[in-house]
Structure 1
Amino acid sequence: EAIEKTIGQYQMMALCTYSLGKCGVSEILDVVGNHHTVLIRRNGAWEIIESSERKETREALQKKTDDIAKRIKELNCLYGISSLVEKPGISLEEILQRTVDLIPPAWQYPEITGAQINLEHQTFQTKNYKETIWKQSTAIIGKDEPIATLNICYLEERPESEEGPFLKEERKLINAIAKQLRNIIERKQMEGPLEESTEKLENIFRSCSDAITVSDLKGTIIECNRATLDMHGFSAKKEIIGKSALELIAPKDQQRALENMKKTLQKGSIRIKEYTLITRNGSEFAGELSASVIRDNCGKPVSFVAIVRDISERKREKKALEASERHYRLLTESMSD
């Protein structure tokens, strides 16, 4: 107890010495079995003999360290591929070529590993790639059928493992890469038509003679086309962005417009509602408004889009026609008398 109080707080190493000349085989085995490490001087040279317990512990720790290193290599590969997609303006061809260059370091023997991706009539491969009998392959499956293949080859023979010279973890990794590539290929192949559609919509948005406004769910204008500015007497977007859409409607119709905004949110859209609209200087004119809800990918409403048509001329023509009809009717009646 006295010794424990004195030195118990310190980390210590006990060094025990034994004379080999005075120890038999059983004594030596007992020493080795009861000490973590044994240092023996034999024939003028020092040797380290570990106990079986310490050796098992060291080997288990080394295995865990190796496993962690392998997982890090795998994660680096998958993360590297994911990062490629985030690069602005990068093409599918560039992504696939960089992907094959990222693959070899994730395999057990990177210095003799080659990778290849075949997509339709295109081939992407590392500079050292060549077909060998030590090959690991997987199909990249689209919605209904294979759209590409991914091949990994060792350029030299290596010891047999779970799948030829390849580890079972490498089979899992190649399958994970194939799933990643499927998503990337499908996404990139959709971007072309989507960009064309977006460009067409932007052209329609810019050139449409009707006023188009986009507002948030509170009615604050966040985007508009040139026709909106011209219709309401503004010269630049900065003069209208941030205003309430209700400010473009005459006060006498604002309450009705607010009620219709709530109906639009409930039903998804409304069509051809007539309002008295106002310009920047307060002049009134008649307009027809149709509106729809814009939803995100999860179906949640995020904004409104409204299309407004100036019907002032049409209403003037209608009044002129009605006046002409009344005049003609009165003239006909007077002639009959």
Structure 2
Amino acid sequence: MRIEGMEAAFGPNIAVQEIQWFTQPTQRELDNAGQTLAQFLAARARKNETILASSSRYNGNPALTLDLRSLVKLLRVSSQKLRILRMLRRGNWLELLRLMPKELLVNALRLFNKEKLVRLLMNLPKPMLIKLLLKIFKLEELIQKMPTVELMRILKSKRLNNRELSKGILTMDPRFILQLLQKLYGNHDYSHLKPYDLMRIFMHTPKERLIEAFKTLPFKALQPLVTGFVKKDPALLLSMSDGFIFKLLDKCPKPTIIESCRVLPEAILIKLLAQLPDHFLMLAAAQIDDKTFEDYLIARQGDLIRSMAA
């Protein structure tokens, strides 16, 4: 059951639990996310729980396995998927999400409106947010979109010491190097200075003074300087402000944002989808393929199948 186009029919306003939804997934959640049905059932078996029905009285009788599967076929449960899902609980819907491929988890993000989705994404750890942004923008394009204040945040990073800054300065256009020297040490003749001399001068200039001098340079000088630093050390992007990241995402079309979420682990996608209200979470679960749905009912909802056949 696909979701394309559903969000338009449901209207733009979907009540979602508000911010602070994100907690770092446990290792168990990361291990379980996206596992196959066979792995899921094997895990249940290892806990000495029956994989035939929700009641322990069946004691793993192979005949009852055949019985349950026959009932599933007789009842044509796949054609009653939504009806059956309404009989299940929220926890069951989340279990079904764990059995889905990432493609369907990403597709289910369509059930959020753009505003809610962006607000939820903003609560992700910043490394995940940056990974998502780099799925949308090339590195050069991302830095091109940065205002000067964001470029300066990167240059101020503790990850850049004087040696790194000085090496970067020497790659700049000579006229911008001269501009820095004049800002730092006055209007003198610097034409006789060799690269080694320049390196020593900038190396021994306090970083705070270098940062102040950078502020006098035009964007076209700072942009390639910052690009060079970030290519060597992408972690410098962690210096970007939340406000800037929010504005970038807010300007992106919703389909683009959803597509970029493919870089997120399944455990995180499920945590996102868990913020949907019941009706929409049920619709997300309804995407599960018929065979997996039937196997899940046999493994976990034997009593329900029998009650439907009674």
With the shorter chain as reference, the TM-score category is: under 0.3
* Higher share in strand: 1
* TM-score for both structures, normalised by structure 1: 0.23
Q: Which has the higher contact order (CA 8 A, sep 6+)?
A: 2
* TM-score for both structures, normalised by structure 2: 0.24
